[in-house]
Structure 1
Amino acid sequence: MTTTNRTTGSTRAAHPTDRPSSALPGLARLAWSRTVFEVRAFFRERDAVVFVFVYPILMLAIFATVFGAEEELLPGSGVYFPQYFLPGMVATGVMLSSFQNLAISIAGERDDGTLKRLRSTPLPATAYFLGKTGQVLVTAGVQTALLLAVAALVFDVPLPTEPGRWWTFAWVFVLGTATGAVCGVAFSSVPRSGQSASPVVIPVVLVLQFVSGVFFAFDELPTWMQQAASVFPLKWMAQGMRSVFLPDEGAALEPAGSWQHGATAAVLAAWLVVALVVGVRTFSWRRRDDG
């Protein structure tokens, strides 16, 4: 291929740099930009912000007040009710920010045509999903920081001081958040419309909270309920968080008598992989009645 100099009339071989550049920014930059956009969009939805941020704090306050902030879960255990319920509220807050938030919001975006329009743009699908995950990590982090501050300042819940416990907190939080986000993306295909998303998603979240040791001491639940809850991620996130905020003696309150960190990582990772496979196979950018 040659090009012609309009002034001299001479020709030369075309060079790749002569072509107009149409390359998009790198994936990391696109994902970051999408994360910033998603975070801003989330904070514009004031009702969602209030529910996601206030709900765990409100539930901790209710349970700490009802059961007594200075009452031990078991006499001589050294574990008080606010201290026991805090890990469950951290876990359920992560679930609200990740699974519930994405399952409802993505279903709404599909219903109002946002996903269809995005798909027609040069934005890679990977950047869209990384933006959603980034938004979840930011909001879950802010929410958890607020919850820990209220627990420590208002209810005198002792926060861990050992680096090892904070390392456990970090990997359970990140793995649990990623798992919840991917599960939320996969589950967003279940509601038939944006209007039906909340009635479909919220009951699932509520049921899991009741059976996963969030509202009740897990070892006091019926055995069949413990076994059913052990299939799902929330139970393991709550147990992983209890290993962070409860003393070592608190492991005796678990049905297995230990924190089971290996099982926690395995179950969360398994759900992450399964949800990723299901999401890839079932995710749709269009409404069901849009062909």
Structure 2
Amino acid sequence: MNPTLVAVRAGVARGGIEVRQSLTNVQDLWNYFFPNFAFLVVMFFMRDATVPGTNFSLGARTLPSVLGGGLAFGALVTMMMTLTVEREDGTLLRAKAVPNGMLGYLVGKVVQVAGMSLIGSAILVIPGVFLVDGVAPAGPEAWLTLLWVLVLGLVACLPLGAIFGSLFANPRNVGVIMLPIMGLVATSGIFYPITNFPVWLQWIGQAFPVYWLGLGMRSALLPDELAAVELGGSWRHLETFGALGAWAVLGVVVAPIVLRRMARRESGSTVAARKEKALQRIN
């Protein structure tokens, strides 16, 4: 059997196992429910506010935006944290020692993080459609839009998380990049229409996949008349596909190169040194 195919199948199986295990882990369950519960509470209290220039609920407009922003944030941060932690504890080194182990490892992480992101999204959306009115795909075209935006958005964001995760050997240093990511989410029109931001901030938001993932989700789940409050007065499906596709191609090309370079620097002595430093900090 083809060794590459074996590695991919092993990675898919491992990712599936880790997703199932997350459903029995108290900390993972907390991470699933608490942020989404907080978002639902916020949107519930926003239900009587309206999108500027319309009579449409700002809470309903925020739900698909948060869905897109949450998928992007979860894919970036979860992948980044997972790689950094498993680099420190030696998991990455063990994967490196197996033929095609890095390929299987990366496939497993993609399946795991994508699965966890989708579970979190379901926890947000299912009760959300009952709490706020006006959120639902309107026909097959909307469902198709939801599907391609979801898949392309994850493919755009997961490799970026892997690239960021490869930059840090110490999980405690990941906070350096957390604040910029949170700032990017805040300026990408997730919680408030980006048209109300300064023009220079609008350009920054549009340069990254978070904005386009939120826009794509809004286009699939909101009425067509809400497109009038977006930049350009439309859902810009072609631009969304192009922007997310460009980030996906960039990530798919760059991430394996960065991960291979990171893996080459890993050895038993470097892992042991990091563990020793961690023990010293605890003591």
Q: Under a length normalisation based on structure 2, what TM-score does the superposition of the two structures give?
A: 0.85
CA distance in 2, matches of 1:182, 1:41: 23
1:163 corresponds to: 140
> Deviation of residue 102 (structure 1)?
0.4
> Deviation of residue 54 (structure 1)?
3.0
2:280 corresponds to: none
Whether the 8 Å CA contact 2:43–2:63 is kept in 1: the answer is no
1:227 corresponds to: 203
Instruction: Summarize deviations over 1:117-154 as a string: whole Å, max 9, x none.
Output: 12112353222212111122322222222211111122
Partner amino acid, structure 1, of 2:27: D
| 1:26 partner SS | helix
CA distance in 2, matches of 1:53, 1:96: 15
1:93 to 44, 58, 70: 70
> Deviation of residue 52 (structure 1)?
4.4
> Deviation of residue 287 (structure 1)?
5.0
Q: Structure 1 residues 28 and 108, CA, compared in 2 at 3 Å: closer, same or farther?
A: closer
213-222 or 279-288, which deviates more: 279-288
Alignment pair present for 1:51 and 2:31: yes
1:144 corresponds to: 121
Q: Under a length normalisation based on structure 1, what TM-score does the superposition of the two structures give?
A: 0.82
2:52 to 61, 64, 74: 74
Whether the 8 Å CA contact 1:72–1:79 is kept in 2: the answer is yes
Alignment pair present for 1:116 and 2:96: no
Partner amino acid, structure 1, of 2:226: G
Whether the 8 Å CA contact 1:52–1:96 is kept in 2: the answer is no
CA distance in 1, matches of 2:26, 2:133: 29
CA RMSD, aligned part only? 2.5
Whether the 8 Å CA contact 2:32–2:119 is kept in 1: the answer is no
2:227 corresponds to: 251
Partner amino acid, structure 1, of 2:222: L
Whether the 8 Å CA contact 2:188–2:194 is kept in 1: the answer is yes
> Deviation of residue 43 (structure 1)?
4.1
267-276 or 149-158, which deviates more: 149-158
Give % identity. 27
1:272 corresponds to: 248
Instruction: Summarize deviations over 1:32-84 as a string: whole Å, max 9, x none.
Output: 3221233145446533442344314412421441x3x1332135x34211111
1:186 corresponds to: 163
CA distance in 2, matches of 1:27, 1:282: 19
Q: Structure 1 residues 24 and 96, CA, compared in 2 at 3 Å: closer, same or farther?
A: closer
1:8 corresponds to: none
Q: Structure 1 residues 26 and 44, CA, compared in 2 at 3 Å: closer, same or farther?
A: same
CA distance in 2, matches of 1:203, 1:86: 23
Q: Structure 1 residues 221 and 25, CA, compared in 2 at 3 Å: closer, same or farther?
A: closer
CA distance in 1, matches of 2:241, 2:28: 29
Whether the 8 Å CA contact 1:32–1:131 is kept in 2: the answer is yes
Alignment pair present for 1:282 and 2:262: no
| 2:202 partner SS | helix
23-32 or 56-65, which deviates more: 23-32
For these two proteins, the number of residue pairs brought into alignment is 266
90-99 or 207-216, which deviates more: 90-99
Judging by fraction of residues, say which structure has more helix.
Answer: 2
2:185 to 209, 221, 240: 209
Q: Structure 1 residues 81 and 96, CA, compared in 2 at 3 Å: closer, same or farther?
A: same
Whether the 8 Å CA contact 2:76–2:158 is kept in 1: the answer is yes
2:19 corresponds to: 39
> Deviation of residue 31 (structure 1)?
2.6
Partner amino acid, structure 1, of 2:257: R
156-165 or 167-176, which deviates more: 156-165
CA distance in 1, matches of 2:4, 2:153: 32
CA distance in 2, matches of 1:258, 1:172: 16
| 1:195 partner SS | helix
> Deviation of residue 25 (structure 1)?
7.6
> Deviation of residue 28 (structure 1)?
4.6
CA distance in 2, matches of 1:41, 1:196: 27
2:277 corresponds to: none
Stretches of structure 1 lacking an aligned partner (at least 5 in a row) = 1-20
